[in-house]
């Protein structure tokens, strides 16, 4: 049954996604692995194809028509991303490979000036991409890494936030939405606390930017990282937003061609923002593809995407709670992610039986091994939704769970 509440015409949207027409094991594909990567609309696929067929050239160096067209489109994509998150200008937008590279860039550059004993605060629910870089740099540079704890509901523990962020804190780095629990963290409030303590705020927006309106001015975070491939764009392109005064001060992460203004045998003057952080030949087609994804999401409207995600997630939560063997992790109020386990059936077995019914979910530790230890499980099954999913697909998913129970005799 299609929701009558939503303003989006889901059937029209679905027609833009060629892959949704395919079958898996003879069954219509139900793609519920959107937190891993989203599917791509034909508008994005065609923008990439059009670039390669019509104006493929390197950017920022070739003084010919093709080079100028490619440069203009690539730069325009930065502006589209800036508009999408309400940044001041394209100068705040650095293209990277993915969220992981964005967070590494932030971590390397921001920790270079810290001194022994300075503190970095993250949380127990961080993805490895927002944990391992800080952990390794803390070890190398003698910094202290602290973790905000989560409460029983899967929210950040309020007392633990207050206890951990202190005058010794130099950097706070938190996920906006958890890829396991679906928790939506109060970034605006925590940014305020970080700034009151003179600490910088870095946000991992990998699971937020695709699903809700993000306003970097309102959040007031200093850095905001996300991936194109989770928001209808191609793989190989990610974003690091940063406040201009901080990016101006920061040392580049990668050195080489294109990030320079002038080089002598003795020294180098760096390029303007954001190119100072984009060394070498970048993922041009992917950047242009991300621009097309911004256009698509902009047309649908992120408020509508958020509302639709909420409707569908609420419906899936309601249906999954009817399965008495299902244990659901995370709070009631959540993003478009539901992690669960079925009695003690291994989540890989759950995913495999669902796959045989055409339903694609993810099972495993979701790159959050420390969080799994807090939840006291080795792994979970996880269904995650996006704007093209339907209630009817949720029903197929629930029926397929019935098959899992039958196969494993629970
Ligand atoms: N999570 C998932 O299935 P990359 O791989 O760099 O595009 O994104 C990393 C990343 C960082 N933070 C969060 C909160 C994420 O969810 C992810 C990616 C995928 O949950 C792949 S592990």
DSSP secondary structure letters along 167-189: TTEEEEEEESB-TTT-BB--HHH
b/e 161-172 (16+ beta carbons within 10 angstroms → b): beebbeeebbbb
Active-site annotation holds for 367 = yes
Query: Can you give the residue ranges of every domain in the chain?
Result: 10-31+301-408, 46-299
Q: Are 108 and 137 in contact (CB under 8 A)?
A: yes
CA of 175 to the centre of ligand 1 (A): 10
Mean pLDDT of the chain: 97
Residues 46-299, CATH architecture: 3-Layer(aba) Sandwich (3.40)
Nearest atom within ligand 1 for CA of residue 176: 14
Token pair for 49? 């194809």
Quick: pLDDT tens for 347-394.
999 999 999 999 999 999 999 999 999 999 999 999 999 999 999 999
Give 10-31+301-408's CATH code, choosing from 3.30.450.70, 3.90.1150.10, 4.10.640.10, 1.10.260.40.
3.90.1150.10
Helix (H, G, I), strand (E, B) or coil at 192: helix
Give the largest Cα separation in the chain, rounded.
72
The residue contributing the CA closest to ligand 1 atom 1 is 36
- 210: Cβ contacts below 8 Å, ≥ 6 apart: 34, 38, 226, 230, 231, 232, 297, 305, 386
CA of 167 to the centre of ligand 1 (A): 30
Residues lining ligand 1, Cβ inside 6 A: 35-36, 98-100, 127, 129-130, 175, 179, 204, 206-207, 227, 362, 366-367
**Sheet of 362-364: strands edge to edge?**
326-329, 337-342, 380-384, 362-364
d(CA 53, CA 178): 39
Helices (H) and strands (E) in the chain, counts: 14, 17
Most ligand 1 atoms within 8 A of CB, residue of 32, 107, 179 to mutate: 179
Helix (H, G, I), strand (E, B) or coil at 296: helix
Helix (H, G, I), strand (E, B) or coil at 24: strand
pLDDT band at 8 (very low <50, low <70, confident <90, very high): confident
By percentage, how much of the chain surpasses pLDDT 90?
97
Question: What confidence score (pLDDT) does residue 7 get?
Answer: 62
Quick: pLDDT tens for 294-313.
999 999 999 999 999 999 99
By percentage, how much of the chain surpasses pLDDT 70?
98
Nearest atom within ligand 1 for CA of residue 362: 3
Most ligand 1 atoms within 8 A of CB, residue of 36, 206, 347 to mutate: 206
CA of 376 to the centre of ligand 1 (A): 21
CB atoms within 10 A of CB 129: 22
Token pair for 346? 């291994």
Nearest atom within ligand 1 for CA of residue 227: 7
Q: Is 136 a residue whose pLDDT tops 50? A: yes
- 54: Cβ contacts below 8 Å, ≥ 6 apart: none
Strands 223-227 and 238-242: antiparallel
Exactly one of 36, 57, 367, 377 is catalytic; which is it?
A: 367
Mean pLDDT of 85-96: 98
Mean pLDDT of 18-47: 98
Quick: pLDDT tens for 235-271.
999 999 999 999 999 999 999 999 999 999 999 999 9
Most ligand 1 atoms within 8 A of CB, residue of 132, 207, 339 to mutate: 207
Nearest atom within ligand 1 for CA of residue 229: 7
Q: Is 273 a residue whose pLDDT tops 70? A: yes
Q: Is 1 a residue whose pLDDT tops 70? A: no
Query: Which residue would you say has higher pLDDT here, 185 or 61?
Result: 185
pLDDT band at 6 (very low <50, low <70, confident <90, very high): low
CB atoms within 10 A of CB 304: 15
Please give the radius of gyration of the chain, using alpha carbons only, rounded to the nearest integer.
22
Residue 343 per-residue DSSP state: T
d(CA 335, CA 310): 7
CA of 204 to the centre of ligand 1 (A): 9
CA of 131 to the centre of ligand 1 (A): 12
- 128: Cβ contacts below 8 Å, ≥ 6 apart: 367, 368, 369
Quick: pLDDT tens for 137-152.
999 999 999 999 999 9
The residue contributing the CA closest to ligand 1 atom 18 is 36
CA of 344 to the centre of ligand 1 (A): 26
d(CA 399, CA 383): 14
Nearest atom within ligand 1 for CA of residue 33: 3
pLDDT band at 409 (very low <50, low <70, confident <90, very high): very high
pLDDT band at 222 (very low <50, low <70, confident <90, very high): very high
Q: Are 32 and 320 in contact (CB under 8 A)?
A: no
Report the predicted TM-score, pTM, of the whole model to 2 decimal places.
Answer: 0.97
């Amino acid at each position: 049954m299609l929701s009558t509440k939503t303003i989006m015409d889901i059937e029209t949207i679905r027609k833009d996604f060629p892959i949704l027409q395919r079958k898996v094991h003879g069954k219509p594909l139900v793609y519920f692995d959107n937190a891993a990567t989203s599917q791509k609309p034909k508008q994005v696929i065609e923008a990439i194809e059009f670039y390669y067929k019509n104006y493929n050239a390197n950017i920022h160096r070739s003084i010919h028509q093709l080079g100028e067209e490619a440069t203009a489109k690539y730069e325009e994509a930065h502006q589209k991303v800036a508009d999408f998150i309400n940044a001041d200008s394209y100068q705040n937008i650095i293209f990277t490979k993915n969220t992981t590279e964005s967070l590494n860039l932030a971590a390397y550059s921001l920790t270079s000036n810290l001194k022994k004993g300075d503190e970095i605060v993250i949380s127990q629910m961080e993805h490895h991409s927002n944990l391992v870089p800080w952990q390794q740099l803390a070890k190398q540079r003698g910094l202290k890494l602290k973790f905000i704890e989560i409460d029983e509901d899967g929210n950040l523990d309020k007392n633990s936030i207050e206890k951990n962020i202190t005058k010794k804190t130099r950097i706070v780095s938190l996920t906006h939405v958890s890829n396991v629990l679906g928790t939506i963290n109060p970034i605006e409030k925590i940014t305020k606390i970080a700034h009151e303590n003179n600490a910088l705020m870095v946000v991992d927006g990998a699971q937020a930017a695709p699903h809700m309106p993000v306003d970097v001015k309102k959040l007031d975070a200093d850095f905001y990282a996300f991936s194109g491939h989770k928001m209808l764009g191609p793989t190989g392109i990610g974003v690091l937003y940063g406040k201009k005064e901080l990016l101006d001060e920061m040392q580049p992460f990668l050195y080489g061609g294109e990030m320079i203004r002038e080089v002598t045998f003795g020294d180098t003057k760096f390029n303007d923002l954001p190119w100072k952080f984009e060394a070498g030949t970048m993922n041009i087609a992917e950047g242009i593809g991300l621009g097309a994804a911004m256009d698509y999401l902009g047309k649908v409207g992120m408020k509508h995407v958020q509302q639709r995600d909420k409707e569908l997630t609420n419906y899936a939560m309601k249906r999954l709670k009817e399965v008495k063997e299902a244990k659901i992790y995370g709070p009631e109020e959540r993003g478009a992610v539901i992690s669960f386990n079925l009695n003690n059936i291994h989540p890989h077995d759950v995913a495999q039986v669902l796959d045989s019914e055409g339903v694609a979910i993810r099972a495993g530790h979701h790159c959050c091994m420390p969080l799994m230890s807090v939840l006291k499980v080795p792994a979970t099954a996880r269904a995650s939704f996006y704007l093209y999913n339907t209630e009817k697909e949720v029903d197929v998913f629930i029926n397929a769970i019935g098959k899992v129970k039958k196969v494993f005799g629970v």
